[in-house]
Chain A
Amino acid sequence: MWLVKRYRLFLAVAFINLLLLLLRPSVGLDSIILSADSLQQMLVVIPPIFVLLGLLDIWVPREIMIKLMGKQSGIIGMTIAFSLGSMAAGPLYAAFPIAEVLLKKGSSFFNVIIFIGAWSTTKIPLLLFEASAMGWEFMLARFIIDIPGIVLIAYFTEKLLSSREMDLIYGNKEIGKG
């Protein structure tokens, strides 16, 4: 029963898809094919990401993470966060579990949002796709504009949160650890 409860949202959407299949067969079928595509993509990318996450969680001591990406890590922390995100593969939602481990290990929130920003827009494998579809000039222009943008977004996201709200974000991770 708990399984049905955990997956109730999924079941609801699956039901909508089923209706679509009955009412507009071609659209319903398209959507199933598209979903199967994304599912396949997800299943390919996710196992190594989560294995690396588990290993990172067990092996990297908190002190080292704080030093590399913590509050005092400055430009080095930013560079690490940016590179980590840019080298990533996979959709944005795969980045959140990684962000969680980074936070738990003592990375600053600012650096984690930089990581998310880089993951979402400046992924290196994607830049190649971008250059081939839209041209090199387009890709480079967007890349150069995105770097300060990512930093500004991270800066303001952190500034607009009160320290209590920040504690809550970090606190969640501690509870989630159990």
Chain B
Amino acid sequence: MFTAVLYCLASVSLFISFIRDKKKTIMALKKAWKSFENILPIFLTIILVIGIVLAVLSPKEISQLIGERSGWLGIIVAAVIGAITLIPGFVTFPLAAALLKNGAGFMQIVVFISTSMMVGVITIPVEIEYFGRKATCIRNALALIFSFVVAAVIGVILI
């Protein structure tokens, strides 16, 4: 659905742009291609790495690591797994629900959800290309800390 909206938006904009100014539109497309081509090698590498990581770690294995009684260690493990694996968002939540069913602890799962969305260890090389080393490290470190805060607050509210 959302992708459809995105495509409509892009094609309508492209159409209007083309009517207004052919030359500029071609320039825009060239720029689009160039920025895509620039980042393609890292994109492809990351996609392969994601595949390998997800294939090696199965939901059952993860559940065992971050079970109900795994405590602080389990929370830290959950944070690390979430930070490293770059799981597409619409996989994260069903996976989180499945992990909970398989015996993972609630706090551990909340931390896992937060870090998997905000912290991207695998994508750090891409981020550095755009924001530089320092900004990238600061952003990811703060996001990691914030994930624990989210877990603590949600834990207090919902448990």
A residues lining the B interface (CB < 8 Å): 6-7, 9-10, 13-14, 16-17, 20, 27-28, 30-39, 41-42, 44-55, 57-59, 89, 91-93, 96-97, 99-100, 109, 113, 116-117, 120-121, 123, 125-126, 129-130, 132-134, 137-138, 141-142, 145-146, 149, 152-153, 156-157, 160-161, 165, 168-169, 172, 176
A-B contact pairs, 15 of them (CB 8 A): A9-B42, A13-B49, A17-B48, A39-B44, A42-B47, A51-B32, A54-B33, A58-B17, A59-B17, A97-B36, A97-B39, A129-B90, A137-B158, A142-B154, A145-B150
Q: Determine whether B73 belongs to the interface, using a CB cutoff of 8 Å to chain A.
A: no
Given A31-B52, A141-B157, A160-B138, decide whether A134 and B31 contact each other with a Cβ distance below 8 A.
no
Q: How far is the CB of B8 from chain A (nearest CB, A)?
A: 9
Contact B36 A153 (CB under 8 A): no
Contact A157 B41 (CB under 8 A): no
Contact A169 B131 (CB under 8 A): yes
Which 5 residue pairs of A and B lie closest in terms of their CB atoms, listed nearest first? A35-B51, A54-B32, A31-B55, A48-B10, A133-B93
Q: Residue of B at shortest CB range from A92? A: B120
Cβ 8 A contact of A93, one of B46, B94, B157: B46
Q: How far is the CB of B137 from chain A (nearest CB, A)?
A: 10
A-B contact count (CB 8 A): 223
Given A27-B55, A34-B55, decide whether A89 and B28 contact each other with a Cβ distance below 8 A.
no
Q: How far is the CB of B47 from chain A (nearest CB, A)?
A: 5
Within 8 A of A (CB), among B1-20: 1-3, 6-7, 9-11, 13-14, 17
Q: Chain A interface secondary structure, helix, strand, loop or mixed?
A: helix
Contact A93 B114 (CB under 8 A): no
- Chain B interface residue bracket vs A: 35 or more
Cβ 8 A contact of B139, one of A91, A116, A133: A116
Choose among A53, A100, A145 the residue with the greatest number of B CB atoms under 10 Å from its CB.
A145
Contact B29 A149 (CB under 8 A): no
Cβ 8 A contact of B6, one of A45, A109, A169: A45
Contact B55 A28 (CB under 8 A): yes
Instruction: List chain B residues, Cβ under 8 A from A58.
Output: 17, 24-25, 27-28, 31
Given A32-B51, A129-B89, A153-B143, decide whether A53 and B120 contact each other with a Cβ distance below 8 A.
no
A28 to B51, CA, bound (A): 9
A156 to B135, CA, bound (A): 10
Choose among A33, A36, A134, A160 the residue with the greatest number of B CB atoms under 10 Å from its CB.
A134
